[in-house]
Amino acid sequence: MMMSMHFTASSRVTLLFEFWDVNGPAGMVVSVLVVLLMTVFYELLKIWKVSLDSRSKPPSLPDSSSRTTLVETLSGSSVPPAPPQHSSSNKRWLLFHVLQTALHVVQVVLSYMLMLCIMSYSVWIFLGVVMGSAIGYFVAYPLLTRV
């Protein structure tokens, strides 16, 4: 069976896995809600990573404004924190780094899953991702200003 290469409004689609086979309107509504929640979680993860990055910075960085500009320049990426000079805080820095790495992996996996959902070429799934991104950003952006 050939997959269509254009958007369709059908309520029949297979998402990500063979067992996630949507065959009706009720299944499509549930699937759109799941994809929407995945996208909201993705947006919240991005804010959490930035929050962890700002907490892991040593206070003695001479030019934090250039670092902030660099972070803003890199679209969707964050600059890894520099390890502190004191050996007593190396453990704390390592813990932050491991947590940031784990969050990065989860974020990448989730972003590829969302991309594959969009590649199902279902208008409804596409709208779920777009709406989830808008809702996630709307909820998460005020959290970023508190960081």
For residue range 66-92, what is the model confidence (pLDDT) as tens digits?
455 444 544 455 555 555 555 657 887
For residue range 42-65, what is the model confidence (pLDDT) as tens digits?
999 888 888 777 766 655 544 545
With respect to residue 4, please indicate whether it lies within any of the assigned structural domains: no
For residue range 116-143, what is the model confidence (pLDDT) as tens digits?
888 888 888 889 999 999 999 999 888 7
- What integer pLDDT is reported at residue 5 of this predicted model? 73
- What integer pLDDT is reported at residue 33 of this predicted model? 93
With respect to residue 106, please indicate whether it lies within any of the assigned structural domains: yes
Residue 91 structural domain: 22-41+87-147
Count: domains in the chain: 1
With respect to residue 58, please indicate whether it lies within any of the assigned structural domains: no
- What integer pLDDT is reported at residue 42 of this predicted model? 92
The Cα 126–Cα 138 span in angstroms is 18
The Cα 42–Cα 133 span in angstroms is 8
- What integer pLDDT is reported at residue 70 of this predicted model? 46
- What integer pLDDT is reported at residue 6 of this predicted model? 67
The Cα 141–Cα 51 span in angstroms is 12
With respect to residue 64, please indicate whether it lies within any of the assigned structural domains: no
Contact 125, 35 (CB under 8 A): yes
